[in-house]
Structure 1
Amino acid sequence: MVLDIMLPGISGISLCQRIKSRWDVPVMLVTAKGEVSDRIAGLEAEADDYVAKPFHPRELALRAQRLVRRTDSSRVVVTAGVRLELDPASHDVIVGTERVSLTNTEYKLLAALISHPNSPLDFSQLLLMCWGEYDRHGDREMIKAAIYRMRHKLEAAVPGSAAAIESVRGTGYLLRADR
């Protein structure tokens, strides 16, 4: 989650503390406040990273990518009674007890979905999380095709497992997880 500190109505630091007390989600604070005391306050609020403005969009994207990769809990999820575990060494997913080979694109998309279970991710978010960009020509079609192929691979390994990846009409995708 990328969060600005200066929000209307609530401090981004307070919101960060609330989020971190309820969910295990990486939070990056972005702000014009770049003093050491501001950075310390943000990190004391349990933010995982702190970026002061001005920054280059690519820097923000790379930092977000690193946060997603570092989140170890983003490798395993139980969905529809089936355990999905990512294997970063081989770019495979273990569905129950079956190992399924994924393409690099499929693996990145599944990793993004697993890292945010039960949260819909729109196409822009998926692009940013997987490739560090948020606007590429043909992006929606590329994501749709990769999700389609991935669902078929999951379904072939363990019937019913593909239903965990839901389309969110007009938005993107969601991985429905039990925990």
Structure 2
Amino acid sequence: MSSPVWQALVVEDEPAMRDIITFALETQDFSTLTAGTAEAAWAIVAEQRVDLVVLDVMLPGMSGIELCRRITTTRPVPVILLTALGETSQRIAGLEAGASDYVTKPFHPRELALRAAGLVRRSPLRDGALAQAGPVTLDLRAATAYVKGKRADLTPHEYRLLAALVTHPDEDLPFRQLLLLGWGDAQPLGGRELLKTAVYRLRLKLESVDPAARGCITSVRGVGYRYSAVEAGPQDGATSPEPPE
């Protein structure tokens, strides 16, 4: 067997099925990470490089559909959904949430592994996808951010917030969506004040790397935040917020 060249995350709450999928993927140049819940999987995606996610729809706690939506709105990682035969509504919901493919149970492990390899070969992450808007560039594969080519030292929460904003330039992103993408919870302890503090620190970090980032992240009163792809200095309502008390 050749050395692994891709890393897959297998999200499946049944250990026996998880082992079958893992073994099949490892025959196709994958190394594997595993999780038994969507919450555990989300933490892995936030912290580690993942080239592919194989995701069971039926999970305890957060559903596979919701996890799929969170993943695909923050980075272009291909997702294969595993669904029970005949669950047409779930397959449709999964594709609407951004899944690249679905496989019905029962399935042949080799077919799943070959589909997975094909998706990764066609994925923009294969060569290290970049997302760029204004002065900020994101290396989506390495989960790192740069301002005018200089790296910004961000926490995982800050990076996820920035990724959500940069990949949706000139859109008003609501507080609830940003909390969900940043912390995996639309109502975490601290709520909007937690988000306000994180955005304040994110702005300071970006501006400290290069003043070109000043004013890129603006507050949308009563709604949330917006990232402007136009490089400009602070405008009315675009300056960094006052330091949280």
Normalised by the size of structure 2, how large is the TM-score?
Answer: 0.44
Q: Which residue does the alignment assign to 1:86?
A: 138
CA contact (8 A) 2:219 2:226 kept: yes
Structure 1 window deviating more from structure 2 (132-141 vs 98-107): it is: 132-141
Distance 2:199 2:142 in 1: 19
Larger radius of gyration: 2
Following superposition, the deviation at residue 57 of structure 1 comes to 5.5
Q: Comparing both structures, which one devotes a greater share of its residues to helix?
A: 1
- Residue 179 of structure 2 aligns to a residue whose secondary structure is helix
The CA RMSD measured in Å over matched residues stands at 2.7
Following superposition, the deviation at residue 169 of structure 1 comes to 0.9
Q: Relative to structure 1, is the Cα distance of residues 151 and 163 closer, same or farther in structure 2, using a 3 angstrom cutoff? A: same
Q: Which structure has more RCO (C-alpha within 8 Å, separation ≥ 6)?
A: 1
- Residue 211 of structure 2 aligns to a residue whose secondary structure is coil
CA displacement 1:13-44 (0-9 Å, x = unmatched): xxxxxxxxxxxxxxxxxxxxxxxxxxxxxxxx
Q: Gapped runs of 5+ residues in structure 2?
A: 1-56, 78-123, 232-245
- Residue 136 of structure 1 aligns to a residue whose secondary structure is coil
Distance 1:131 1:98 in 2: 26
Normalised by the size of structure 1, how large is the TM-score?
Answer: 0.59
Distance 1:131 1:153 in 2: 19
CA contact (8 A) 1:76 1:114 kept: yes
Specify which of 60, 65, 81 is matched with residue 60 of structure 1.
Answer: 65
Q: Gapped runs of 5+ residues in structure 1?
A: 1-51
- Residue 145 of structure 2 aligns to a residue whose secondary structure is strand
Q: Which residue does the alignment assign to 1:145?
A: 197
- Residue 186 of structure 2 aligns to a residue whose secondary structure is coil
